[in-house]
Chain A
Amino acid sequence: MSCDDNKEARAKDRQKRRSLPIVTAEAPRPSTATAARAAPRYWRSIEEREAAKAIALGAVNEFPPGADELAEGSVSRRGFMQLLGASTALATVGAACRKPNEKIVPFVRRPEELTPGNPLHFATAYALEGFASGLLATSHEGRPTKIEGNPDHPETLGGTTAIEQALVLGLYDDDRAKVLRRGGESTAWRVFLEDTKARAERLEANKGAGLRFLVEPSASPLLGDLRRRILARFPMAKFVSYSSTTSDGAAEGPRLAFGQPLVARHDLDKAKVILSLDADFLGEGPELPRATRAFAARRAPGPEMNRLYVVEPALTGTGAMADHRLRMRGTDIPSFAAALVAELATDTPALAPLAGLPKSATFDQRWIRALAHDLQRSRGSSVVIAGRRQPAAVHALAAAINAALGNVGSTVTYLLSPFDGSSGPKALGALVEDIAAGGVDTLVITASNPVYTAPVDFKLGQLLQRVPTTIYHGVYEDETAAVCGTMIPATHPLETWGDARALDGTVSIVQPLITPLWGAFAETQVLAAFLDEGDVSAHELVRRYWFGQRPGDQTAAFDAAWEKWLADGVLPGTAAQPVTVPAVDGQALATVIGTQLAALTAQADGLELGFVNDQRLHDGRFANNAWLQELPHSITKHTWDNAVMISEATAKAQGFETGDVVALQYRDRSVEGPILIVPGHADDAVTVALGHGREGAGESIAKGVGFNAGVIRTSDAPWYDRGLKLARTGDEHKFAITQTQWTMSPDGRASPPPAVDATLAEVLNEGSKFHEELEERRGPLPTIHEPVDYSHVQYKWGMSIDLNKCTGCNACVVACQAENNIPVVGKENVRKGRHMQWIRIDRYFSGPIADPEVINQPLGCVQCETAPCEYVCPVNATVHSDEGLNEMAYNRCIGTRYCSNNCPYKVRRFNFLDYTSEYTAARMMGTNPDVTVRARGVMEKCTYCVQRIERKRIDTRIAGTTIKDGELQTACQQGCPARAIEFGSLNDPGAKVTRMHADARRYDLLHEIGTRPRTAYLARVRNINPDLAKVD
């Protein structure tokens, strides 16, 4: 890995990470805050009683502005701490006969290492799709404000995803469910526990025959243990895991090939040739941070540079990084895989039995031949990755190719699946049948909003109403909560104890950064309620479990190990051993998947309907997260929407243009959505993102954004099917798109391309035109002004961004938003061109619209040495620091916007409206106290995270040292899973950023204007297969 030279710094950092102090206090559950909100037993008036009910139902804003003590204007750390202290004190009073309970009380007794004003970092983990990412959370005075990747975590390696970066906003979301309720009545946790105890005893009598749990797929050891114990108590009960984002094919494929369900783990740092069959491994899934890091690490131009082939219907982040991309309908990809196997079989005998698989379409033979040769040339260092949307047959073929080419054990390893069976529609289907047959008496749902995510033909929402007892554990009063009898507010991942397992098997302890803001409960607590263990905390559960896992340990030894696990964020030695897979029985496989492929290829022709997880909202669970809603889609750059994505040719043939609202008629269902023409989309196909069109009663941000594509998604065609019809509705839709221009010269002007790319051959040939042209795009320009000499200052801050590594995953954008308190502006203002993100990822297409090449160019303020913004500001609100930073004095700004007009990069952002004063007290807690929250009428922009620079400067000055390279990272750099961004002092000759500035691929954006930017770009390199050079 390329970033290991600052190990020492990380070790130091690790020492600083702590586990949260636990203060044991005699305290009742629910906390006083919850109890006070429960429906009053004695009431003074009907209004009072009704109001309490309304609050319980989430019908009114529980904290109307001005009604709570933490209202805006009076939000201070001190105020918050007083409240925390007071509630704890109250909680302690009169609790003598209650069970002991833990409270996380950061400030009543100040922990030794905590200095007010200095943040602390805690290692934790977050599991999405069942697998954990190791995270580091920054906590300011007990308020988590920022998420980073844990560099010591094997699956995260310090990188993050945009979704992880946005977790903080979700924590402080005032729309979260706050009340434990049964029907419309709020109730107390103890009441729920007693009820559940009685119910469990009743259920135990018939071995739990009517008891069902609908859970998220999870690899958490603790959840697994609870599940086992519940099943031991209720042998007839069933756990069904369901997630709309997983498919049965991914687990089924390896089973077909190797005889058991396995999880593929890809080591892309060993891969020279990568083929993605509809796999967006750089854009989604549990492998994202590690795969991006490894992929990017092998993008350095040279003989070892990797080459990426992507076959996919709609352009994804992975497709944008492809050296060769073949657009293809999702339903044709199984045939393509079969054709590829047939081509490979000529030189690879192991694949020979699979050569005759049925195919429905013909493909560019030259492309397949070149690809097959390339894969074969790199035996042992090539890899075929099949996407989650593809059927088992494609996964099986990918496994067979990888095995035949000797890639297994090198670029791909297989691990035992930590999940029991399917978590796709099949498993849910069985539960649905159970419910329909009346066999379910008690259903506990901890899966995220299954009523919304379940295939529409299951009619889960209606069926749930037939179940006598439904208990939903969810974060929001969403579609599922609306039909469930009991609603238990779920804790946010930053509020709870637990554990989680990463894809490679490594276990992390999830530790909370804050007590549940509104009295929420962990999934483990809900499950434990069925084990008759009383009011047990999530902390106790996880500790007890892991204590039990180390039978030899004394408490003290366990405590020491525990502390270390918490500080490190990983449990040593928990990584799973790869499974040694048997050889693929080609003949047997050919028989099995032959029939499957025959069924697939026999499909009627017609417009293809393809579903995709929204890259921002996932399955819809993040729909109430405004950062993610306003995050530009990595390809189309649209925000606050989903769209009917379609190729230009198909749109033209059907007579549609971007913005036309069409009815998608599929089988006997229909949904309306706006057309968005996307370059590089496969013809005769349509892609719609899931997760939009939410109707949850409690989710004010999510409500009404986009359309719910799920209403035409059925269990037998969760990802692709043909037979879609588009019908014009006559309506028009205006998208909120942040970048409306597709290409680098949309009106045909002859300006130098902002983002530079070249083929590997050109880059390696030192005399090529590429180098000649780049030479003109860097270095000194003739000027009558003597440039300021920065060589004598201690630090000369600079940045470099390697376009060859950037996948456009948006992690930097949200990282910056979280770090710098950047507000969201809403759909209407994005439409008007007033989005606020300080760093944006410019995406340019080149070549034909049908088959474009893509470059991503992240762009924040480039900190010009001769900044055009500075001299035009009439009040000196933007000035230059002696270290070369272009600084903004927010409180001096009068908002003439002249600086923005004169900024050639247009990286300045203006508070056109008051975006922040309506922040709720909770939202204010999530802001970074090191950065001013800007007022209306003030200009703002990227500062190279000056607050981080200054903090590090203070630390090093106290220590009497200087800031060393790698010690200081900007938020975008730290969040970047690809390590595309380097930052440091250009006066340090050994600094990575200095080396990047001296790279042969370096160029300055708009160099010709003479702004002398401090951010340098490294040109994108395309590793063209010589056999395909002419085709492209």
Chain B
Amino acid sequence: MSAAPSSANVSRDPLEPTVLIEGAQTDQSLNDSLLNHVWRGAGRGWWMLFGCALSALGLLLIGITYTLYKGIGAWGNNIPVGWAFGIINFVWWIGIGHAGTLISAILLLLQQKWRTSINRFAEAMTLFAVICALLFPLLHTGRPWFAAYWLMPYPSVQGIWPQFKSPLTWDVFAVSTYFTISLLFWYLGLVPDLASLRDSSKSRTKRIVYGIFALGWRGSGRHWSEYKWSYLLLAGLSTPLVLSVHTIVSFDFAVSVIPGWHTTIFPPYFVAGAVFSGFAMVATWMIPARQFLGLKHVVTIKHLENMCKVMLATGMMVTYGYIMEHFIAWYSGNPYEQGQFFKTRWHGPMQGIFLTMVFCNCVVPQIFWFKKARTHVGVIWFASILINVGMWCERFNIVVTSLHRDFLPSSWQNYAPTWVDISLFIGTIGLFSTLFLLFLKFVPAVAITEVKELRHEMEHEAHHASVGGGAGAHG
């Protein structure tokens, strides 16, 4: 999509609003305002939040310790519900990570300018979400001390390789690749800003620390050129990952025989759901952050509105997925699928979770058809939280609801989480929050370089527009 309104007379591209940076900003003012939250001392608010996050993180450590000490029996899992909170949380966090990759990579390639103000933020979220997600594949195994290396393909003396037909083996590759690329991408984007931080550091220690992480960036033309190229390459590498990671995660379910899992629609439906939840999570964090970190002039209401549109679109895709699951269950004539979708999901013991999912994921996003809702931060924030809840419920539905009522009624069992399950879930939120608060404290939350570049581009365009307009008048 070409994104250059060449003239004020030409009707504006609806996806390319002009108000991406508010006020008359200069490089210096942007530098000051966007680095401000790093240099400013930690306020009482930050410490309070950080305290809460650390407490939740403590819960995570307790949960992990107890799980390792006691075994998976510390969780609520049973037979037939072999997977529950562990895998729900894994899929949920991986999904949340997707917004970052989508914003950084795909929107970059599509030259969506509005991404610049939020990409750093979203990429950091990706990274932290993937860290949270990565806890679970290992922790949920019965013997993590073996899982840690037996899942890796290496020429072991046992002469046994991983089972390459197993989606869990694919997961290992998919998620580890995803984490590596996300880390590189985020870090690469940070380098010029780290250099800015180094240059504006007031203490020697900070200068040295930031200097190390800035990798000797001097802002030379060659640096910029190579930076641009590598950034573009990584964006190119990340793009398929947006699609592949959650596709492979969805294979964990799709390649099985369990009614409710065994369905070909899962890959696109999972990716859409991932983007959906990812944007919701970005909105959930972005709205307070722009308020309290003074970023309103670069993360404008226009950005939020665009995110709402993405949520609306992906929400509709997810809804379509739900409808198709039901349709295929009916159309296939498979009684087990029909039982799963028409009996268990709607009327079974986990009915509440299912209905919450439908409300949060299908009904709530519909509010974004209205511009008033799309531009009201309170509404967006509240809706984004509901969407996060809805997406967690979706994973619960897929994982637990499908398992607890499968083929033979004799094996049906109910599922209830234990305190350990809940601690681990809250704990990962704590881990995520802790990492995020540290991120906000130590690195710029907005990609300053890119915002500055955007400002220049926009200035340039504005200049051209006025020149062109003048020429037209002359002609």
| Given A900-B82, A901-B258; A832-B76 close (CB under 8 Å) | yes
Contact with B along A738-762 (1 / 0, CB 8 A): 0111011111111110100000000
Give the CA-CA distance A1003 to B167 in the complex, in Å.
32
Residues of chain B contacted by A833 (CB below 8 angstroms): 78-81, 413-414
A874 contacts B79, C-beta separation under 8 Å: no
| Given A741-B412, A894-B146, A1006-B407; A871-B79 close (CB under 8 Å) | no
Give the CA-CA distance A832 to B150 in the complex, in Å.
30
B344 contacts A874, C-beta separation under 8 Å: no
A892 contacts B409, C-beta separation under 8 Å: no
Interface SS of chain A: loop
B78 contacts A905, C-beta separation under 8 Å: no
B72 contacts A749, C-beta separation under 8 Å: no
Which of B166, B411, B414 makes the CB contact (< 8 A) with A874? B166
Which B residues form the contact surface with A (CB < 8 A)?
A: 70-73, 76-83, 140-144, 146-147, 150-151, 158, 160-163, 165-169, 172, 252, 255-258, 335-336, 338-339, 343-344, 347-348, 403, 405-414
CB distance from B36 to the nearest CB of A (A): 47
B77 contacts A897, C-beta separation under 8 Å: yes
Which of A895, A906, A914 makes the CB contact (< 8 A) with B411? A906
CB distance from B136 to the nearest CB of A (A): 11
Residue A840 at the chain B interface, CB threshold 8 Å: yes
Chain A stretch 364-405: residues in CB contact (< 8 A) with chain B: none
Residue A80 at the chain B interface, CB threshold 8 Å: no
Give the CA-CA distance A859 to B410 in the complex, in Å.
10
Give the CA-CA distance A351 to B121 in the complex, in Å.
95
Give the CA-CA distance A911 to B339 in the complex, in Å.
30
B255 contacts A912, C-beta separation under 8 Å: no
Name the CB-closest residue of B to A895: B142
Residue A842 at the chain B interface, CB threshold 8 Å: yes
CB distance from A1012 to the nearest CB of B (A): 13
Which of A872, A895, A909, A914 makes the CB contact (< 8 A) with B141? A895
A896 contacts B407, C-beta separation under 8 Å: no
Residue A768 at the chain B interface, CB threshold 8 Å: no
Name the CB-closest residue of B to A1011: B257
CB distance from A654 to the nearest CB of B (A): 26
Residues of chain B contacted by A892 (CB below 8 angstroms): 150, 158, 160
- Beyond A746-B409, A894-B150, 4 additional contacts (C-beta under 8 Å) are A892-B160, A895-B141, A897-B142, A935-B143
Residue A908 at the chain B interface, CB threshold 8 Å: yes
Give the CA-CA distance A904 to B79 in the complex, in Å.
12
| Given A748-B343, A897-B77, A1006-B407; A873-B143 close (CB under 8 Å) | no
A-B contact pairs, 26 of them (CB 8 A): A743-B409, A746-B412, A747-B343, A747-B344, A751-B336, A832-B76, A832-B78, A834-B73, A840-B410, A859-B410, A870-B163, A871-B163, A872-B168, A876-B160, A876-B162, A893-B142, A896-B142, A897-B82, A898-B83, A900-B79, A904-B257, A910-B82, A910-B142, A913-B73, A935-B143, A936-B142
A874 contacts B172, C-beta separation under 8 Å: yes
B143 contacts A913, C-beta separation under 8 Å: no
Residue A875 at the chain B interface, CB threshold 8 Å: yes
A747 contacts B405, C-beta separation under 8 Å: yes
Residues of chain B contacted by A893 (CB below 8 angstroms): 142-143
A894 contacts B141, C-beta separation under 8 Å: yes
Contact with B along A1004-1015 (1 / 0, CB 8 A): 011001000000
| Given A751-B407, A754-B408; A898-B73 close (CB under 8 Å) | no
CB distance from B156 to the nearest CB of A (A): 11
CB distance from B259 to the nearest CB of A (A): 9
Residues of chain B contacted by A748 (CB below 8 angstroms): 343
A874 contacts B142, C-beta separation under 8 Å: no
Give the CA-CA distance A843 to B410 in the complex, in Å.
7
CB distance from A430 to the nearest CB of B (A): 49
Which of B158, B256, B347 makes the CB contact (< 8 A) with A872? B256
Name the CB-closest residue of B to A889: B160
A1009 contacts B73, C-beta separation under 8 Å: no
Name the CB-closest residue of A to B158: A892
B339 contacts A901, C-beta separation under 8 Å: no
Residues of chain B contacted by A409 (CB below 8 angstroms): none
CB distance from A896 to the nearest CB of B (A): 5
Residues of chain B contacted by A32 (CB below 8 angstroms): none
Give the CA-CA distance A740 to B413 in the complex, in Å.
7
Most buried by B among A744, A746, A747: A747
A752 contacts B335, C-beta separation under 8 Å: yes
Please list the 6 inter-chain residue pairs (A to B) with the smallest Cβ-Cβ separation, ordered nearest first. Answer: A895-B142, A937-B142, A749-B339, A833-B78, A897-B82, A913-B73
Residues of chain A contacted by B409 (CB below 8 angstroms): 741, 743-746, 754, 844
Give the CA-CA distance A744 to B256 in the complex, in Å.
23
B165 contacts A871, C-beta separation under 8 Å: yes
Chain A stretch 918-945: residues in CB contact (< 8 A) with chain B: 935-939
Residue A235 at the chain B interface, CB threshold 8 Å: no
Residue A902 at the chain B interface, CB threshold 8 Å: yes
A901 contacts B71, C-beta separation under 8 Å: no
Give the CA-CA distance A743 to B409 in the complex, in Å.
7
CB distance from A878 to the nearest CB of B (A): 9
Residue A868 at the chain B interface, CB threshold 8 Å: yes
Residues of chain B contacted by A897 (CB below 8 angstroms): 72, 77, 82-83, 140, 142
CB distance from A841 to the nearest CB of B (A): 9
Which of B142, B256, B257, B408 makes the CB contact (< 8 A) with A894? B142
Chain A stretch 868-887: residues in CB contact (< 8 A) with chain B: 868, 870-876
Residues of chain A contacted by B81 (CB below 8 angstroms): 833
CB distance from B93 to the nearest CB of A (A): 18
Residues of chain A contacted by B163 (CB below 8 angstroms): 870-876
Give the CA-CA distance A750 to B258 in the complex, in Å.
16
Which of B166, B343, B413 makes the CB contact (< 8 A) with A873? B166
A910 contacts B72, C-beta separation under 8 Å: yes
Residues of chain B contacted by A872 (CB below 8 angstroms): 163, 165-168, 255-256
Residues of chain B contacted by A902 (CB below 8 angstroms): 256-258
| Given A876-B163, A904-B406; A912-B151 close (CB under 8 Å) | no
Give the CA-CA distance A298 to B81 in the complex, in Å.
41
CB distance from B159 to the nearest CB of A (A): 11
| Given A743-B409, A895-B142, A908-B79; A829-B73 close (CB under 8 Å) | yes
B258 contacts A898, C-beta separation under 8 Å: no
Residues of chain A contacted by B348 (CB below 8 angstroms): 747
Residues of chain A contacted by B258 (CB below 8 angstroms): 901-902, 904
Give the CA-CA distance A911 to B72 in the complex, in Å.
8
B256 contacts A937, C-beta separation under 8 Å: no
B71 contacts A749, C-beta separation under 8 Å: no
Residues of chain B contacted by A913 (CB below 8 angstroms): 70-71, 73
CB distance from A871 to the nearest CB of B (A): 4
B410 contacts A739, C-beta separation under 8 Å: yes
Give the CA-CA distance A938 to B144 in the complex, in Å.
11
CB distance from A783 to the nearest CB of B (A): 13
CB distance from A1017 to the nearest CB of B (A): 12
Which of A749, A843, A859, A876 makes the CB contact (< 8 A) with B338? A749
Residues of chain A contacted by B151 (CB below 8 angstroms): 874-875, 894
B71 contacts A747, C-beta separation under 8 Å: no
Residues of chain B contacted by A874 (CB below 8 angstroms): 151, 162-163, 166, 168-169, 172
Chain A stretch 809-856: residues in CB contact (< 8 A) with chain B: 829, 832-834, 840, 842-844
Residues of chain A contacted by B142 (CB below 8 angstroms): 893-897, 910-911, 936-939
B335 contacts A750, C-beta separation under 8 Å: yes
Residues of chain B contacted by A829 (CB below 8 angstroms): 73
CB distance from B390 to the nearest CB of A (A): 24
Name the CB-closest residue of A to B69: A914
CB distance from A113 to the nearest CB of B (A): 38
CB distance from A835 to the nearest CB of B (A): 8
Residues of chain B contacted by A843 (CB below 8 angstroms): 410
Residues of chain A contacted by B143 (CB below 8 angstroms): 893-895, 935-938
Residues of chain B contacted by A834 (CB below 8 angstroms): 73, 78-79
| Given A750-B335, A751-B407; A912-B77 close (CB under 8 Å) | yes
B71 contacts A900, C-beta separation under 8 Å: no
Which of B71, B140, B407 makes the CB contact (< 8 A) with A911? B71
